[in-house]
Amino acid sequence: MKSMKRIFSVATWILSTTALLITACSKNDEPQPEAQLTFELSIDDTTSTTISYSITPSSDNLPYYAALYPASELSSERDIAVAATLLTMEAPYMGKQSFTAEELSPSNYYQVLYFGYDAESKSYLTDYIVSEQIRTDQYVISEALSLSVIEGSQTWRNAIVRIDASDQELEYIFDFMPKAEWKENYELYTLAIIAERIRQWEQDVEWGLEHYPELDTWQKYMQCYQLAGNRTINVSEYYNLRWDSEYVMYAFGMNDEGYQTTDVVTTEFATAKPVASENSFEIEINTVISTGVKFTITPTNTDPYFVTIQDKRYVDRFGEGKEESFEDMIWDLTFNKTDQQISSYIFSATQELTNESIGKTIDTLHEYQIVVFGFKDGPTTEVYISEVFQPTEV
């Protein structure tokens, strides 16, 4: 039994085989059999990605060559001659042989090219013989995935999801999106998410080919996202979640060749809603110098709050009547910070602070505002904004 994984590329061989190709394509040098050799070809088995076949020659002592090709590669006499010429560079077979061609495309057509040829005497023992077209099976989904949210794991910006695979070697793709987006675009036809991901990977190829020439197919980009086997996923490590929001996690099996191996599965979860605070704030700017500002925050209770200093142009992006809300501002100021980083902006009770208190550098070229909002596992009050100030030279 010989296993064959064969996809011939004429371009790869063209420099070293130019003379042979000319010979193969010359009408005067077409196969002219000198001895009688016949074959019996049998197709033993087909799957979505393999074709098994056997060849029985009429003589066990005469050499022959055989290989399976996509039918599109044997569509003309010249294609057949070129493939046959390249094939004779390999060792011949003798006697009955069984073959299995692997890593084929599902629902695609293939043909076996076979012929007798004596390389020593450079004489053909048969004409080129091309089989009838053989179609691989449609890809059958035989694996399974399941998703489940670990109870009690949801926080204001995280959740833990368990992925269970029917096979520890099963490779799959997963991601997250707001529930409203999933319902609008994918809930009624979940296969649309696979088409969308493939479109994105194809776009990656187009945009990245100049810098990453080795990633020249969408399947190669897809493999960068594959996981395998059972996993426990901290969502925040993969996706920036927003407090008090609903999300969908989806997953589907996909092998290295880009074929879907499981159904699309989903699970829903919601992040925790922060407990509202009745806190409110007064912001007083005390002293402004060229490189700093001193200010006082006076809250109405001891609940924790978040303090930052931002360029006025940034603050102007948000608010009523703007494209972005103050909630968008809070998310923008926190989503890319760890809990530890956020803690350096959190205070309680009355505080006299400076820009250095929160690690902020300011200069005389820009106008600034102090932004304050209650914060405990997410925002707990509305946003309060100071008057505008600009550092000046003393």
- String of DSSP letters for 69-110: EEGGGGSSHHHHHHHHHHHTTSPPB-S-EEEEE-SPPTT-EE
3-state percent breakdown (helix, strand, coil) of the chain, nearest 5: 20, 35, 45
pLDDT attached to residue 6: 36
Q: What is the pLDDT of residues 107-120, one digit of tens each?
A: 899 999 999 999 99
pTM of the model: 0.69
pLDDT attached to residue 32: 60
- Return d(Cα 249, Cα 147) in angstroms, integer: 8
Q: What is the pLDDT of residues 325-364, one digit of tens each?
A: 999 999 999 999 999 999 999 999 999 999 999 999 999 9
- Return d(Cα 223, Cα 200) in angstroms, integer: 13
Instruction: Tell me how many degrees the CA angle 375-376-379 measures, rounded to the nearest 5.
Output: 45
Assign 290 a pLDDT band (cuts: 50, 70, 90): confident
The residue type found at 91 is A
Average per-residue pLDDT for the chain: 90
pLDDT attached to residue 139: 78
Whether 277 has a pLDDT exceeding 90, the answer reads: yes
State mean pLDDT over 129-153: 92
Whether 300 has a pLDDT exceeding 60, the answer reads: yes
Assign 265 a pLDDT band (cuts: 50, 70, 90): very high
Instruction: Tell me how many degrees the CA angle 333-338-343 measures, rounded to the nearest 5.
Output: 80
- Return d(Cα 361, Cα 285) in angstroms, integer: 16
Cα dihedral across residues 340, 386, 283, 365: positive or negative: positive
pLDDT attached to residue 138: 80
pLDDT attached to residue 3: 36
Number of other residues whose CB lies within 10 A of the CB of residue 173: 20
Lowest-confidence segment of 32-36, 56-60, 185-189, 349-353 by average pLDDT = 32-36
Identify the residue whose tokens are 């979940």.
190
The residue type found at 255 is N
- Return d(Cα 322, Cα 169) in angstroms, integer: 49
